[in-house]
Chain A
């Protein structure tokens, strides 16, 4: 009994830290509508900066109370200033870009911060000192409980209270709440939006920085802090309802306690528990616990352009290049052939996601689930039933399609960020199954020896096989976009209400499109498995979903050829940069950022524009 009470207190302490980060995320989203992927990076920078201030320089020499707490506050302010600077230099230019494009930009910031932190602080973990005045433990119900954890428990409600006062008792807060609902109207009333946005980024970033800095006495500062916290913070914000501070607080409590007790009951699947809870909440309350349905999109938002074929010259050039590649393949070495087969797989993977995102108008952050489902289907068939490659390649799309039907039934009911988060949740659940069901999937060791049939074992034959199947898949996906089915899909994207009024079952169309796309992702996954000879849980993990997302966004969401170009550009860049330099994340981030700022319609969009101008 006493142990449970102490466990509950520990849950409250981690809930506080989570709330600090999530509150910043939700405040920024509320006003700017930007889903800030880089928020976890700001949290990590807060921790690193606090470590530096506390253990080096004048504050460290001062030592004692101010040496520590001054360092923590200074770190929070520095991160706030950095957030404001990022808003002024980068984010301000993309407020009118589509939601997912903004996400791409903030993801680029994640990559950049990763390498910058590595350069500045090195790869080894950093340990901070204990907090002055809060050392040691107190006795609660006969058990010892750290003082610092008690302090953290108080920080959450105090910050919530201060934020409430800020939002309800100051002019700045009232303007922020008004801007959350209708920022154009606020500017028509004479309020300079730019100042408001910069200020809100300062506030949100400072909260993240504070959250990170306060971790210093609790845990080591590492380069993995950013991704670990951002996923949880997203979950909290989404469960609470985007833009709702009390909702974020409630959700942080829920997740904090879930972790604390989940460890006692199901130590190995706490992460799945978290995502399961999120899935349940979103299915029951599509806008989170305390969230309001999003208002009408701002008037400046324009309908996406119609998908149009590339200009004739460009199309001929593309087909020519493809033909030349197929003819030249026999003269290439093994390494280029492996690379080209990978490219074919990525193109199909990206094209399948594009169907959901472009014509479908839905976002998926968990597309790797279907890629992995296909790979595992093929791998398991070979391992447990000794089914040959041909059978695996034939059945993988059906397996992935079934998974898509199951997950999609939940996901396509929601829209925007909520739908994206639910897809992420299901992908994480699928990942955990692959990771933890060791008896069947081999767990972390994966399935090895998943080799192609004899005739396709040569690199050249396998490249031709990949190219043929991926070409077929891409062709079928494009057919779907231009078929009546694709028209209905685009109609419900542009206005679900009007589409329903003319007899289109929007839910069913979205659901089928989701499963159709999942099937082709599965085919890509199965090919990838045979190409590598193995299947690992990483095939379903978040980074692979992000890869697909980046490929589609880089290429341009609203162009049919976009995912193809995007896949080549992204996979090629990553490959080349990783070979040339250790700092490939930094360079890739900068390249993505440049693309977002200068080619807001993606690569294919930019090419089409260039073609139009010349024509």
Chain B
């Protein structure tokens, strides 16, 4: 579905990503794991074109993409809006909802045409997935709780009918009961056949939803393995993940 190869990225003169390669299969949840500063968020942003990659390729395969222009072609170096239109949906870590806009207006900003072969997302379908949003359609997003904002930001991205979702730390800063509901929502999306690249610090959360794990350290992928294997391997976790 998604194939990233040899991705490099810089912030100014600081070299952050040193050749990140990963693949996400159709319908799979790949977890990007690593300590703070390992390059998880930057990988997401580089794939999305928000931090222009200095080298490497990003390919989104399969199905017919909008207009077919970017099908199977390298997305690296394209502007973010073209990458979003090609079928990548980005959910930022900082949420970045439009606080002055209502819930419905936030969803409207994310709305893109339906993709052939995929049931298009509508506000009503999203309110079924995130019931708490349905009760506050006309509320300014600035007056919502952190958990509600996190759900809104995912719902907003889904309105673009993405083929693959980039989820950057969706559990960060949420109450345990909200984290549980978030995990349920992600599993529901996976059941719909959506592919997901998920970056996480919360290992329990990642273990509950992930199929495979890709471990990053200082901007380099160290190991990619099935999630259950990682959960069994305490030594590996201690080496790359524990603080």
Contact = CB atoms under 8 A, between A and B. Distances in A.
Nearest to A192: B81
Contacts of A188: 48, 50, 80-81, 84, 90, 92
Interface stretch (A177-185, A324-332, A469-477): A177-185
Interface string A294-333: 0000010011000000000000000000000000000000
B220 interface: no
Contact of A187 (B81, B108, B112, B157): B81
A17 to B, nearest CB: 28
Contacts of A175: 109
Nearest to B91: A188
Contacts of B98: 177-178, 181-182, 185
Interface in B54-113: 79-81, 84-85, 90, 92, 96, 98-101, 105-106, 108-112
Contacts of A182: 96, 98
Nearest to A299: B50
Interface string B202-235: 0000000000000000000000000000000000
A302 B81 CA distance: 22
B160 interface: yes
A189 B101 contact: no
A230 B99 CA distance: 31
Contact of B101 (A174, A191, A192): A174
B12 interface: yes
A361 B105 CA distance: 36
Q: Which of A180, A181, A190, A193 counts the most chain B CB atoms within 10 A?
A: A190
Contact of A184 (B50, B112, B160): B50
A184 B96 CA distance: 10
A181 B99 contact: yes
A579 interface: no
A193 B80 CA distance: 10
Nearest to A182: B96
A614 interface: no
Interface string A157-180: 000000000000001001101101
A186 interface: yes
Nearest to A186: B109
Given A178-B109, A182-B96, A302-B12, A189 B157 contact: yes
Contacts of B99: 181
Contacts of A186: 109
A608 to B, nearest CB: 16
A191 B90 contact: no
Contact of A189 (B79, B100, B105, B156): B156
B92 A177 contact: no
Given A174-B109, A175-B109, A185-B92, A191 B100 contact: no
B20 to A, nearest CB: 19
A98 to B, nearest CB: 16
Given A181-B100, A182-B98, A189 B160 contact: yes
Given A174-B108, A175-B109, A187 B100 contact: no
Interface of B: 12, 48, 50, 79-81, 84-85, 90, 92, 96, 98-101, 105-106, 108-112, 156-157, 160
17 contacts: A171-B108, A171-B111, A177-B98, A177-B105, A178-B98, A178-B106, A181-B100, A181-B101, A185-B96, A186-B109, A189-B81, A189-B84, A189-B156, A189-B157, A190-B85, A190-B112, A299-B50
- Report, nearest first, the 10 A-B pairs whose CB atoms are least far apart: A190-B84, A178-B109, A178-B98, A185-B96, A187-B81, A187-B80, A188-B80, A189-B110, A190-B85, A188-B90
Given A181-B98, A185-B98, A192-B81, 17 more contacts: A171-B108, A171-B111, A174-B108, A177-B100, A180-B100, A182-B96, A188-B50, A188-B81, A188-B90, A189-B90, A189-B112, A190-B81, A190-B110, A190-B160, A191-B109, A192-B79, A302-B12
